[in-house]
């Protein structure tokens, strides 16, 4: 309960400031709706919001799983082959220079307006953080441990599985926590470019019909989903770190 106290206080303060801003400025509700209007819109459209939230959640979770696995495997491969890493890492950095918004129309063209293009978008946006964080951890294994493994005649595979990977798990955990925040961004961007379902699509639909309260409700639900996903991944990452330390 104590862990929820501060987030709840922050949320209440934010809602209070929001309401005060509406009162002071007198802004029309179709530009900035009051909190109670957003809450009412969320309640009245709860079935619609849930339907679209389920689609976005599926895209995010699948993108996160695929991106995390691919990123972890890539990091292990690069750590096992330093020459390959020197060639591939600059390419990975270069891919991050390409704006995500520029890729969304291309992915929609290639994979269609369904869920596949959104999953690919989420994978692309989290692949580098996971790969970079895990690779950095693998390359920071204490030299003393590596020298000891060499002394006892450990094979490269044994060194990777029993020393480097366990030692780099905290770095992988950090990458996964970042991925949990970035993954919804990729999915929603894909829904903005072309979709018929999802919270991103619902926000655009509500905005086009001047239903700003519904748009805000969808946005808040998306934020809550992101926070819940981040906390879940954070708990899993902490568990992974504890297990690695025990081993």
pLDDT per 10-residue tile (average), the chain, 247 residues: 67 81 81 86 90 91 91 88 79 73 78 83 86 86 75 74 83 86 85 82 86 89 88 82 61
CA distances from 164 to 64, 80, 137, 189, 238 (A): 23, 10, 8, 36, 18
| pLDDT on residue 70 | 92
CATH superfamily of 34-246: MetI-like (1.10.3720.10)
44 and 217 in contact (C-beta within 8 Å)?
no
| pLDDT on residue 247 | 47
| pLDDT on residue 1 | 53
Beta-carbon contacts of residue 181 (< 8 Å; ≥ 6 apart): 226, 230
| pLDDT on residue 246 | 43
| pLDDT on residue 110 | 82
Q: What b/e sequence results for 177-207 when a residue is b if at least 16 CB atoms lie within 10 Å of its CB, and e otherwise?
A: bbbbebbbbbbbbbbebbbebbbbbbbbbbe
Longest dimension (CA), the chain: 75
92 and 180 in contact (C-beta within 8 Å)?
no
Whole-model pTM: value is 0.82
Phi, psi torsion values for 103, nearest 5 degrees? -85, -25
């Amino acid at each position: 309960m104590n862990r929820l106290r501060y987030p709840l206080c922050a949320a209440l303060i934010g809602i209070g400031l929001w309401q005060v801003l509406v009162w002071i400025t007198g802004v029309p509700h179709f530009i900035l709706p009051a909190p109670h209007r957003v809450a009412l819109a969320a309640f009245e459209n709860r079935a619609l919001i849930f339907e679209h939230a389920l689609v976005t959640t599926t895209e995010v979770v699948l993108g996160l799983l695929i991106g995390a696995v691919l990123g972890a495997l890539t990091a292990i491969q690069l750590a096992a082959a330093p020459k390959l890493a020197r060639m591939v890492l600059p390419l990975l950095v270069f891919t991050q220079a390409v704006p995500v918004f520029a890729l969304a129309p291309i992915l929609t063209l290639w994979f269609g307006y369904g869920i596949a293009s959104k999953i690919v978008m989420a994978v692309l946006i989290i692949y580098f953080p996971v790969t970079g964080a895990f690779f950095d951890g693998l390359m920071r294994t204490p030299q003393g441990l590596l020298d000891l493994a060499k002394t006892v005649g450990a094979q490269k595979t044994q060194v990777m599985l029993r020393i480097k990977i366990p030692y780099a798990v905290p770095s992988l955990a950090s990458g996964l926590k970042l991925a949990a925040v970035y993954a919804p961004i990729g999915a929603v961007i894909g829904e903005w470019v072309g979709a018929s379902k999802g919270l991103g699509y619902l926000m655009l639909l509500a905005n086009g019909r001047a239903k700003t309260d519904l748009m805000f409700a969808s946005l808040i639900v998306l934020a809550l989903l992101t926070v819940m996903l981040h906390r879940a991944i954070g708990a899993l990452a902490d568990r992974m770190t504890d297990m690695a330390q025990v081993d």
